[in-house]
């Protein structure tokens, strides 16, 4: 004979067994365990080394030349793969061109390579 599943506990009754201090302690312990596991996973899986290698690879792309700020933003976003960063950099304006386009204050930009002033 199939029996019906037990009724779920009423929230107020199930929490009545624990004090706020008990819940805070359990949350703190779980948080600490989670942080320790995440740290251990990143170290053992080469997470830090992989992130550093990815950042270095994006910054070293030939497409990053003249687009260093854009490359840095893409590199620091851990969700952007190297191939996507390369594609984005190839189609992005250079930092100087972007500055000229968005220069609403009339500021001057000095090109260190050629010594030219742009407005």
User: Rounded distance, CA 51 to CA 109, Å?
Assistant: 32
Taking only the tens of pLDDT, the chain with its 119 residues reads 677 777 766 655 555 577 888 888 888 888 888 877 776 665 556 677 788 888 899 999 999 988 888 899 889 887 888 999 999 999 888 877 766 666 666 555 555 555 555 44
Query: Of 49, 46, 66, 43, whose CA–CA distance to 57 is shortest?
Result: 49
User: Rounded distance, CA 9 to CA 26, Å?
Assistant: 20
Token pair, residue 61, equals 């792309």
* pTM listed for this prediction: 0.48
């Amino acid at each position: 004979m199939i029996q019906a599943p037990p009724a779920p506990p009423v929230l107020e009754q199930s929490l009545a067994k624990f004090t706020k201090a008990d819940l805070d302690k359990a949350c703190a312990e779980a948080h600490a365990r989670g942080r320790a596991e995440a740290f251990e996973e990143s170290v053992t899986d080469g997470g830090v080394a992989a992130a550093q290698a990815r950042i270095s690879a994006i910054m070293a792309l030939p497409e990053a030349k003249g687009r260093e700020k854009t490359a840095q933003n893409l590199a620091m976003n851990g969700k952007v793969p190297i191939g996507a960063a390369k594609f984005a950099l190839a189609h992005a304006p250079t930092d100087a061109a972007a500055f000229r386009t968005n220069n609403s204050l009339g500021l001057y930009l000095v090109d260190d390579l050629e010594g030219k002033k742009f407005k």
